[in-house]
Structure formats: structure tokens, C-alpha cells
Chains A and B, each alone.
Chain A
Amino acid sequence: MDIQGWMLAVAILLPVVAAILVFLIRQYQLRGLIVILTAVALIVNSIYFLKVGLPTEYTPENPIWGTIITVLDYAMLLFYIYAGLSLKNWLVLIFALTQIIPLAWWEFGLGASHALEEIKPAFLIDNLAVLMVLVISIIGSLICVYAIRYMYDHEEHKHLEKSRQSRFLFWLVLFLGAMNGLVLADNLMWLYFFWEVTTLCCFQLIAHDLTKEAINNGARALWMNSIGGTAMVAAMIYLYYTNGGNIEYLTLSNIIASGGTEAFLLLPVALMCFTGMIKAAQMPFQTWLLGAMVAPTPVSALLHSSTMVKAGVYLVLRLAPAFNPVLGMMVAVCGAFTFFAASVLAISQTTGKRVLAYSTIANLGLIIACAGLRTELAIAAAMLLIIFHAISKGLLFMCAGTIEHQIWSREIEDMEGLAEKAPLTTFITITGMLSMFLPPFGMLLGKWMALEAVYAVPLAAILFVLASAATMVFWAKWLGRLLQVTPKLGKKIESLSLSYSVPLWSLFVGIFVFGIGIAPLYDRFIRGAVNNVIAVQHAFTEGWQIVLPDAATALSLEKGVGLLGSYPVVALFIVFAVAIVLPLLFVKLKPQELKPVYLCGEQAGDVDTDEWYAEADNVSKLELGGYYYKGAASEEALNTWVYVVAIALLVIMFGIVLGVSL
């Protein structure tokens, strides 16, 4: 086996082996050690991928792997049928049957299985795949490390008699292997297999706590993603038969190489794109991701940042070169609509994790819209957004979990004045939130690039604009609740367990390192990955002279050059330092300068108290609440419209595709 083989084995099989070990070992320390060692191995291995000459392909020589995958495919689908029957959830059952029946009919009924073994290559390692492997392996591993301690605390709090941590860590670690396989696979059959494994892991993790709500939400995630699986099966069978029983187009690379010129490829591409959009929780399928937050927080962190939903956007991004202009435009509008609707809905959410979930859905919409735009700039924006969103959201969810384990609540209102109770966690959380929309950080850079790229589709541009305004509002509202403090000096800084603090600080540092180092990151890596996506799409490789990172060139005007825009990264980080870091370090207050707030003279007691004379001169505690604009932005008020528009957009998309391909 050559070097690629070994690296693939570490990326995909090591998590599987580790997962089994973790499942078998019932001792807390040893289990934790295995998770940590696996994390280290995955991280080192993923970085080593950068050293291989890219792109390169690999197909395991032994045909046994193909057989194993086929067997496991059917095992999983049979399990779904079992799950549907035992939960009496008919949707799960129906969408399991819609996958297994056509698949079995195709492979065995019509005897295609022999031909399918010949598909090559199994894996394609290119810059885009490696980018995803890095995100999955590094951020995903950190979340697994975080989960060691989190699940311990979680079960302590729940007073479980029998520990189920082993089972939890099993699915969590397995997830990483499946994701690595998914982004590296080129053979559609293998892609489908890994796709189903992620769906299965997701179901098991969401349902982990075995409450009624958890099981229901898990089942919802399962049937919705099974619709996606069904679409993928349909796409594969269609690809096989319209091409006269030929396996030529059963690899991603061949589909992409067609460059959107083959009319018959358009329908399967649209179907797979639809599969990706379901996994990325795009409207109208957002409810599975919203329901997923009943699971313990490491699950949310993993689903939202580095796995699951990122698989969805990855597939859409991967297929982007195979869109024709109309399909691209429709994907862009669908994504932009989700970006807009989710951002507005986030304003009315009162639960922290729900705000995060809507924000994820919104950003995934933005990434998918960028994939639909298909210009070099847009694709680059999508990749930057994937990286920075994974870092920031991973951090934010871990913060949400840490907060939850300090105040035992997920409600934003309960986080009131958290800066007093847990200053360190609050500090990291606030930085994470700022990194989602503050100028020098990567997310804003991505959003800015996306907006500069979106001009080709005016409708999407307008939705982008409205969405980015709403984004600011919901983050500011939440930030405001955290910041609110009573006048008091000297706070006690809480201590965090290492299993919490190492992942938190790693991502915290990551935000700054990648934010500042965007120039080399872009030049050495993203540009190559963009070329992976765009290379066959000559019509779209027109130059965009955007001055990205260098402060000097951005500050010195190059007149006459057709400059699209400029984003002086270094200069903005200096501004950030002057605006926030320096005041944070140097603004000091003396005790005598601290005064109680203005309450029209009704203040009761001293500076430190927040009591006042309410009606009939009763001394009561001052309570403030946030605004949630339930009338205008709540789910009750908007959901009908959101569903109507989202479904209409999908119908139009498939209508156009069918019109073109038939």
C-alpha cells in the first residue's frame, strides 16, 4: 500500500477502530486517552495531506472493500426499516423503503452490481477535499476532546444509573471517519455509503438522551435526510441508465468534467444538489437541524461546525461546475432566501442554541448561494466561509455547552449578566460572537466577498443585503444580554476543566491566526481549491482583481487598475486592536468613580445592589428583559410564508431542470 492508502486509512479507518475501542472500554480515563490520541493522529494526518502532490487518486486494490460497503449499505437501510417500525414512524419507514427497493432492484434485480464494482477511482484527493479533511479532522477532533468531560458532567447532572458515555463517544468518533470518507470519495456508490453513515450517526447522536423529544427529533433528522438519500439513489440509477447502462458518470470527477454541457446530466446533478441542500438544512428542511439541538451540546457543535451540514454544502460546492447557468441561478436564489429567512427568524429566538442553529442555517444558505453563483470570487468566498464558520461555530457551541453546565439553562434570558458569573467563558463567547460579524474576522471577509460576487443575480443580492442587516441585530441582541452587569468591581474568574479549556482556547486562537493569516492561507491553499472547482468552467474564470490582504497595497491607491474592491486585512486588525483590545487592557476604573444606574431616584440601597422601590414602595429586584419582536419575526408569524416560498423555489428549480433535460 502506498502513502495515499495509509493516509486514507488513518483518516477513515482509524476513527472506526477508535470508535469500537471507545465503545468497549468502560473506564473514563482510558477512554479519554484513546479519544485524545485519535484526535492527535487525525490532526497530524490531515496536515500531512498538504504534503502529498495534489490532486491524486486512489482505489483500494482488494475488491473486498466494495463488497463490505454494499453489505453495510443494506445493513443500514434494514436498520432504518427496523427503526421506522419500532418507533412507529411511517415517514422513516417509507423513505427507507424508497432507498432500499430501487437500490436492490438496480444492483441485483437488474444485475448491475458487477458493473458497479468497476467504478474508478474510489477516492480523489484534491485541494477541496483536503480543505474539508482539515476542517473535519482538526475542529471535529477538538470537539470530541471537549465531549469527554462534557458527557461526564452531563451524566452527573442527570444522575444516570448506567453510564452511556461509551455509546455516545462511539458515534461521535465514527462520525469523523464517515465525514473524511465522504469528502474524499469520488465513486458515487462510496459517496452514498459514507453519506448514509453520517445520517445514521446523526440519528443516533440526536436520539442519545432517549427522551421522547430526542427520539422524535432524531427520527425527523433521519427521514428528512433519507429523502436526500432517495434523491441520490435516483440520481445514480438515472446516471446509469440514461447513459445506456454505462458506469462512466458514476464518479463525481466525470460529472464535473462535463462542465454542465450535457443536458442529461442536469437532472441527476440537481437531485444530488437537492440531497446536499437537505443535509445543509436549507429551507424548507430546516427543522431537522433545529430539532437536533435537544442532543448534548457536543453533538450540536459537531453537526454545525465541521460535519453533517458541511457535507451538504461540500456536495453542492463540488457539483457547482456541473450546473448550467439557470440551475446555478436557482441554487443561488434558494440559498439566498434561506440566508434571509433564517436571519430574520433568528431575531425572535429566545434560546441560545436556537439562535446559533438559525445562524448556521443562514450561513449555509450563504455558502450554497455562493456555490450557485459559480464565479471565482464566489467560490473562494464559499470556501473561506466554510473554514471560518466551522471555527467560530465550533467555538460558540462549545461555549454554549460550557455556559449550560454553569447555569443549567439554554435560555438567553437566563444568561443575563453572565459577564459577572463566568467572566472567562463570557469573554470567549463574546469573542466568538464578534468573530461572526465583526470587520477584521474571516466571517465578515467571506460575507464581504460574497456580496461583491453576488451582483450577477440581483434578487439574491437584495436578499443578502437584508439578511446581513438582520444578522447584526440578532447577534447584538444576544451580546447585549451577556454584557449587562450591575456596577461592581473585581470579579472572580472561574476555572474550566482542561477538556473544556483546551478546545476552547485552540479555536479562540484559531480565529485570530486564520483571520490575520488569510493572505497566505488564500494564496497557498484556497486559490488551488478554487481551481479544483472552477477549472473546467472557463466561461467563469474571468479575472477579479480584488486586493485582498496586503494593507500597503490597499492603502496606496492604484489608479486606473480595474479594482473590484479592497479589504485591508492587516489594517483592520490594527483598528480592532485599537478599538477593542487596547481599551480592554487599559481602561481602568477607581471604586469611587463607580455609581449606581439612573432609576429616577427610586434606587434602593448601595451601588452593588440592583434593587429599587417598586409600587407601594416595595423593594424589588430590578429585572430587564430582551426584545424578541415575537409579533413580526416569530416562527408562528413567518413560517407559513417561509415554507410557501421555499417549496415554490424548489419546484421552480426542478421544473426548469426537467424542462431542460426532457
Chain B
Amino acid sequence: MSDQVLNQVLIAIIAIIVAPFIGGLLAGIDRKLTARLQGRYGPPILQPFYDFFKLLGKSKIATTRTQFIWLISYLVFMITCLVFLVLQQDLLLLVFLLGFAGISFVLAGFSTKSPYSHFGANRELMQILSYEPILLLFALAVYAQNGSFMISTIMENSTPLLASLWPVFIAVLVALTIKMRKSPFDIATSHHGHQELVKGIMTEISGPYYALVTLTEWYELVLVLGLIALFWSNPLWVGILIALAAFILELLIDNINARLTGGLMVRICWAAALVLCVLNILYIYFMRGVA
């Protein structure tokens, strides 16, 4: 028993240490690839790490103390989500936690009396309104398929989820676009300089705390790709390949689309992605009823 617990703790610690490296590396690939797609040479793959350490060394500047608190809780909740994933815990609870991580970031934006920060926070909220139901329905679809909300059950299942949940998979890709802040759904803030001059919630965040947000985004990237890998969990390497393919696909979509308005994003997510999820879930129930 205690061996098992120790093992779990070890897995969690390894995940916490390794995830930022993967996330940073993926961010580097993102920048390089995007640059090539745009006909630029692009920074070295390791540039995100250089940026990160440079930001850490900068002096601390703030407009309010509360913002720092919410940024830290953003990071901690995101790490918790990742730990839940690697320890194969409850998927539904993970989605709730992920939702609150997003809310923490929004509250960080609201904590200061800055117009740009508020713009960003309000838009971030619309993003949450768009992707949160998709992820919750993903958890529900997993339940409909497996009879359990535990990620461990997904891992044990030999038939991949993708076979029966491919409409949900498409919907989760939409959520991934929002989570990665990629066009057409980079409503709140974008990684591209050409999209905006003032960077939403990030406007009032600088130096070490900006580094903290970057770190959180890396965790988030690994986490969301991990969720996508669950669609083919046996053997897991197929799932990881699918997740990487999804990542590359997002980069392509990002570069061939322009940003939409927030209202349109909510409508598309609720009308298209949610309907896909709902039909998928109803189909599973229907087939079970027939059987």
C-alpha cells in the first residue's frame, strides 16, 4: 500500500518536472513552424526557454497584489490537473479544476483597474463559456462509453475511445484551438505580434510573473494534449502521436484563419461542437438501448 502511494507520488513529481520541458519544446516548435509557414526564418527551437529565464531575472513590477495571488493559483490548479491526469483520477473533476484554473486567470485580469486587462478577462470568460461544456460533455461521453469517470478505466480499456467517440474528438479539437489560443479562436490574447498591440490580460503582467504565466501555458498545453491522447490509450504511443498530429494541425489552422469575434466563437462552439457531442452521447445511449 505505502509502496503504491510512494509510486504515485513519484509519478506526480516526474510529471511536474518533465511537463514544462515538453511544453516549452512544443512552444519552440510552434514558433519555428509558424515562422516557416509565414515565410520567416524563425527563432531557435529553444527560444521559449531563453525567454523564460530572461523574464525570471527581471525585476518584479505590479499594479496590484491580488493579481499575483490569482496567477499563482492559476499555476497551482493547472499543475493539479496534470497530476490528476497522470495519476489517472476522475476526468469530470479534472475538467472542473481546469475550469477553475481558467477562472483564476480571468480573476487575475479583473484584479487591476486596467481597461486592456479587463477586455482580455471578459473575452477569456467567453472562451471558458465556449470550451467548458465541450470538455464536460467529453467526460460524460467517456462515462457513457466506459461506465466510469475514472481515467484509469480509459487506460485499461483495449478498444480506443476514438472508435466510438470520434465526433467528440472533433469537438475537443475545437476546445484545443481555444486552449492553445490559436486562430480563429484566439479571442482573448494571441501569441502572434500581428494580432494585437495590447495583449489582453497579459498587459499588466510582467517579469517573473509573466514567466509564471508562460510556465502555466506549457503545463496547459501538455495537459490538453494528454487529454487528446486518451482517445487512443492502448497502446498509448498511438494516442501521443494523435495528440502531436492534432498539435501540428492546430498550427496549420492557426495560420490559414483569421480571428473571429467572441460572439461568433460562442455560437460556433455551442451550435456545432456541442451538437456533435450531444449526438454522439445520444447515439451511444441509443445503441445500448437497442442492445
Contact (A473, B111) CB under 8 Å given A555-B8, A597-B63? no
Task: Decide yes or no whether B234 CB sits under 8 A from chain A.
Answer: no
Q: Which one of A108-116, A136-144, A212-220, A574-582 is at the B interface?
A: A574-582
Across the interface, name the chain B residue whose C-beta is closest to A568: B89
Q: Which one of B30-38, B116-124, B176-184, B248-256 is at the A interface?
A: B116-124
Task: Decide yes or no whether A565 CB sits under 8 A from chain B.
Answer: yes
Contact A597 B128 (CB under 8 A): no
Task: Decide yes or no whether A487 CB sits under 8 A from chain B.
Answer: yes
Contact A485 B121 (CB under 8 A): no
Contact (A466, B263) CB under 8 Å given A461-B140, A555-B5? no
Task: Decide yes or no whether A557 CB sits under 8 A from chain B.
Answer: yes
Q: How far, in angstroms, from A600 to B116 measured CA to CA in the complex? A: 10
Across the interface, name the chain A residue whose C-beta is closest to B71: A583
Contact B72 A583 (CB under 8 A): yes
Q: How far, in angstroms, from A447 to B72 measured CA to CA in the complex? A: 25
Which residues B187-205 have CB closer than 8 A to chain A?
198, 203-204
Partner of A485, one of B100, B113, B132, B148: B113
Q: How far, in angstroms, from A62 to B96 measured CA to CA in the complex? A: 55
Partner of A564, one of B137, B148, B282: B148
Contact B77 A469 (CB under 8 A): no
Q: How far, in angstroms, from A596 to B204 measured CA to CA in the complex? A: 9
Q: What chain B residues lie within 8 Å of A600 (beta carbons)?
A: 198
Nearest CB in chain A: distance from B125 CB, A: 5
Partner of B113, one of A444, A447, A597: A597
Q: How far, in angstroms, from A589 to B111 measured CA to CA in the complex? A: 15
Contact A594 B90 (CB under 8 A): no
Task: Decide yes or no whether B53 CB sits under 8 A from chain A.
Answer: no
Contact B204 A598 (CB under 8 A): yes
Contact B128 A469 (CB under 8 A): yes
Across the interface, name the chain B residue whose C-beta is closest to A588: B65
Task: Decide yes or no whether B110 CB sits under 8 A from chain A.
Answer: yes
Contact (A587, B69) CB under 8 Å given A564-B148, A632-B263? yes
Chain A interface size band reads 35 or more
Q: How far, in angstroms, from A475 to B89 measured CA to CA in the complex? A: 27
Across the interface, name the chain B residue whose C-beta is closest to A484: B113
Across the interface, name the chain A residue whose C-beta is closest to B282: A458
Which residues B126-175 have CB closer than 8 A to chain A?
128-129, 132-133, 136-137, 140, 143-144, 147-150, 152-153, 156
Would you give the 0/1 interface string for B189-233, flagging 1 where the beta carbon is closer than 8 Å to chain A? 000000000100001100000000000000000000000000000
Nearest CB in chain A: distance from B186 CB, A: 19
Task: Decide yes or no whether A205 CB sits under 8 A from chain B.
Answer: no
Q: What chain A residues lie within 8 Å of B125 (beta carbons)?
A: 473, 476-477, 627
Contact (A455, B198) CB under 8 Å given A485-B64, A594-B63? no
Q: What chain B residues lie within 8 Å of A593 (beta carbons)?
A: 59-62
Q: What chain A residues lie within 8 Å of B1 (beta carbons)?
A: 556
Nearest CB in chain A: distance from B108 CB, A: 9
Across the interface, name the chain A residue whose C-beta is closest to B68: A587
10 A-B pairs with least C-beta separation = A480-B110, A579-B76, A597-B114, A579-B73, A565-B149, A469-B132, A583-B69, A465-B136, A583-B72, A565-B90
- Interface, chain B (partner A; CB < 8 A): 1, 4-5, 8, 59-66, 68-69, 72-73, 76-77, 80, 87-90, 92-93, 96-97, 99-100, 103-104, 106-107, 109-118, 121-122, 125, 128-129, 132-133, 136-137, 140, 143-144, 147-150, 152-153, 156, 198, 203-204, 263, 270, 274, 278, 281-282, 285
17 CB-based A-B contacts, threshold 8 Å: A465-B133, A465-B136, A479-B107, A480-B106, A555-B5, A556-B1, A556-B5, A557-B88, A557-B152, A559-B152, A562-B147, A565-B92, A580-B73, A583-B73, A589-B62, A598-B114, A599-B114
